[in-house]
Amino acid sequence: MPCFMCNGNADNGIILMGKQICCLCEEEIVSTSIYSYRYFYHLERIKDLWMEYLESGKN
């Protein structure tokens, strides 16, 4: 299954609201400073994930 964040291979990652996130993206998310431009990228992707989850009716 592809990673929700990077579309790479997410065989060894986490599942968040039914979507897989690869280990590399998981590590980048938890280590990114809130002052980094990458922080806002991750924030927007997680918002997208949250919206997809709410729209799916699985909540």
DSSP letter, residue 34: T
- pLDDT at position 59 over 80: no
Place of tokens 């431009």: 37
Indicate whether 17 belongs to any domain: yes
Q: Which is nearest to 49 in space by CA: 4, 2, 1?
A: 4
Structural domain span for residue 19: 13-56
The residue type found at 17 is M
Q: What is the pLDDT of residues 12-43, one digit of tens each?
A: 889 998 899 999 999 999 999 999 999 999 99
Is 48 contained in some domain?
Answer: yes
Residue with the two structure tokens 């979507």: 19
Question: Does pTM surpass 0.85?
Answer: no
Please give the span between the terminal C-alpha atoms of the chain, in angstroms, as a whole number.
21
pLDDT at 10 over 70: yes
Domain count, the chain: 1
